[in-house]
Structure 1
């Protein structure tokens, strides 16, 4: 597919997004259903150590975000995550990564829609199957699909209007958690609750809570600013500021929310241990806690926010996912139809695909926590390429102007890659098995299509540049099997598992660097992408 035909199909995206719009796009992608449920689930898993879970999660995500802040300034175009993979390891990895990114984006609006109906089920008991631990009923499924349709319809607006709507939502989404923090702390009378039920939680829970309680999931939305890089007039300045600023803002809110939640508990709430924490309104933890403290106004505010916060996050993930699909069509990694724009210069076919496939994703993961585990695992998997691509581009194009330059990249980039793999490992064996089976099926189908149906030359597939994926995915899966999390065999104990995952990550990163494109190939790929921007 030639550059000329690409431009004819796709046209030009509008560059209407400013720094505030990008900052709030990432912020609202992070402050969604995670804050409504995360503190409660984290407390049950890690007790008072859950505060450390949020701090650790912020550190891990900031390491990854710093890698992408440098990369995003080098790829100031919508769907930049797709372009990064092309520049580091060529078209073969670019195609694979494109669809992994799609699988990471498309379930998020679905999980946010499910969070909305989960709250609504407290007073309209039609959406959740009774006694099913959160499984959707037929009515709940239809309602979620309709909510996804609303987010898709809003995404067909001019991007400037869309971001203005999102900015209004984001101000609300910041205000309500801040009021919740202040209200719960003011009403707290048991400041020593952090020492209650000391034998009912473990240090390992602080780590397993990262994926299991939705902590990492809650931080993942920083990349929305990157996805909109082709729609801002000053991407070299705006994207890094929006990425880093949104992580700092979300981290401050999430950590203080966890502190406020724990301090608002009473020793009686923990009579049977942290894992058995329960109170009226459990399906809406903060709202139920506020009601038990006599803060009726706060409970009402939280029930209203239960619609707005997840809805805003779902809205932005449809935006980001559609731009990834647009980039896939632009780079030839997906159907050309994905580059079609409507009169508002929005990729309407990509938005439609996000809606349809998002509704399908309500089926295998019909409960909030189940879907969060999958999203966390596959999203962090896609983030793992960032540190690798950063080091490849530093090696291949050292003279390239970098508007934002990550400090101590030779040390911090490998550390970010290790952290990514640890989060995947902590997700657990069962979730990772499902994840890697999906990846394997997709890869086999793509290879068959490439070699058997379209009969393209074997040499053009890029096997020599993607061979490192097998030891990466296979090694993490094997370690998950041997570990003791989420159905693993328990052969590897806590501490040793962290050391083994870290060691294997270093080996994989060295393999990835050996399999990367040569300097001339990267330069050629960058030139090709500049022609499509």
Structure 2
């Protein structure tokens, strides 16, 4: 029994693909920004400033950004060298073999599916607030799932239906919508920067380190998850026009832009409002309302809706591409690897994922499931960093259009950063993750191992 049989290093680029190559470096960068900037910049900054770091939340963003850079550089090298739409799953298949690839792929399915479902619930809250401004009041039983006193979350189902239809229509159309939404939220963020830069009150930054450096580090561990999403860019390898060149640009470029924006916004937010007042649902809107900018505060809500929409769209897209890759490799039923001859999209996968995530968003206790996203993401990052290190020594002459700088220190630091954050997660979260992985192993040995494409070669 060969549990660690491997795919050829460049099999993903050389294999047949019915997906349309239409994404440029600009599109890929905006995919990354779309996935990264969501509720984090509109909510998490205020919460961490108020409870953990104070004005030094700016340092928390710097530390978290540096930790993400280690993983991003590793992703960039593997995306350019190995490719394929399976992201970390495909890299693990080439580097560590089938069993590890299955574990990573199963982990990515959890990460993306729960992320989209959880964000759709947050989106429904912002959308309901916007509808109330328009004097449209929905019954409360249609705004929450059964565990929160409702029947089902109607708005979460609506947005999931829209995104499902959009992804079925085609990746180019999805990319255009994402680019428009990203522009909207960037305009809103720049509007905040312009206004806040004129309203800064320096005494608000004192004391700068009210919770000490321990608070800054704790804040960094929380803020790390505001950067989640850049890895979804690597799932677009087969639809990128020039993946070897453009994927590293998209991954690193989106992370750099978002890091700069996070640092600027966090510094200005704590400059216009005392950090102790920012533990609210929408800290940016709250700070602007206190300063008397009611109209601008309402625009912030629009930016939040746009931000959450792009997060869902990109992660939903990434989920379907990982599932497509696993199906083509035989680890999941082959029926999911078929693409429509007109739209060139995997309609069956998109419909299945859409129905499952809409059901989760409508009925499940998302706040419990969402904790699994953290450990799942860190695990995938850890494997990617380890994969770069392994392939450098196992295949030193492999063609690498992009090379991770600072070898071997960058991937090692990436692995250590991820491991440190994993062991500081709640034990109950780790226990649930182990259960999910156990279920995945049962499926692999019951179906995936014997039906693998490598088993039939």
Alignment of 1:113-512 (within 5 A): 113-122=120-129, 124=132, 137-138=149-150, 141-189=153-201, 191-196=202-207, 201-212=211-222, 215-266=223-274, 274=276, 277=277, 282-342=280-340, 343-362=342-361, 363-367=363-367, 373-447=371-445, 449=446
Q: CA deviation at 1:85?
A: 1.0
One of 47, 60, 76 as aligned partner of 1:69 = 76
Distance in 1 between the 2:371 and 2:57 partners? 17
Q: CA deviation at 1:296?
A: 1.4
Which residue of the partner structure matches residue 21 of structure 2?
A: 15
- Listed one character per residue, the Cα deviations across residues 187-235 of structure 1 (whole Å, up to 9, x for unaligned) are 232x122224965x343332333454xx222212112221000011211
> TM-score, normalized by length of structure 1?
0.75
Q: Residue 82 of structure 1 contacts residue 98 of structure 1 at CA under 8 Å; is this kept in 2? A: yes
Distance in 1 between the 2:87 and 2:258 partners? 23
Q: CA deviation at 1:66?
A: 0.2
Q: CA deviation at 1:105?
A: 0.8
Q: Are the structure 2 counterparts of residues 32 and 209 from structure 1 closer, same or farther at C-alpha, using a change threshold of 3 Å?
A: same
- Listed one character per residue, the Cα deviations across residues 340-392 of structure 1 (whole Å, up to 9, x for unaligned) are 2122111112212322232344355434xx66543222111111111111122
Structure 2 gaps of 5+ residues are 1-6
Secondary structure (helix, strand or coil) at the match of 1:301 reads: helix
Which is worse superposed, 59-68 or 159-168? 159-168
Which residue of the partner structure matches residue 520 of structure 1?
A: none
Q: Residue 128 of structure 1 contacts residue 136 of structure 1 at CA under 8 Å; is this kept in 2? A: no
Secondary structure (helix, strand or coil) at the match of 1:79 reads: coil
Q: Are the structure 2 counterparts of residues 238 and 202 from structure 1 closer, same or farther at C-alpha, using a change threshold of 3 Å?
A: same
- Listed one character per residue, the Cα deviations across residues 51-70 of structure 1 (whole Å, up to 9, x for unaligned) are 11111111011110000100
Distance in 1 between the 2:216 and 2:237 partners? 35
Q: Residue 182 of structure 2 contacts residue 306 of structure 2 at CA under 8 Å; is this kept in 1? A: no
- Listed one character per residue, the Cα deviations across residues 72-126 of structure 1 (whole Å, up to 9, x for unaligned) are 0012322232211111121122222211111111122222222222334557486
Q: CA deviation at 1:145?
A: 2.2
Distance in 1 between the 2:278 and 2:116 partners? 28
Q: Are the structure 2 counterparts of residues 401 and 198 from structure 1 closer, same or farther at C-alpha, using a change threshold of 3 Å?
A: closer
Q: Residue 118 of structure 1 contacts residue 127 of structure 1 at CA under 8 Å; is this kept in 2? A: no
The structure whose RCO (Cα within 8 Å, separation 6+) is larger is 2
Which is worse superposed, 252-261 or 73-82? 73-82
RMSD in angstroms over aligned alpha carbons? Answer: 2.9
> TM-score, normalized by length of structure 2?
0.86
Distance in 2 between the 1:303 and 1:25 partners? 21
Q: Residue 126 of structure 1 contacts residue 139 of structure 1 at CA under 8 Å; is this kept in 2? A: no
Distance in 2 between the 1:33 and 1:197 partners? 25
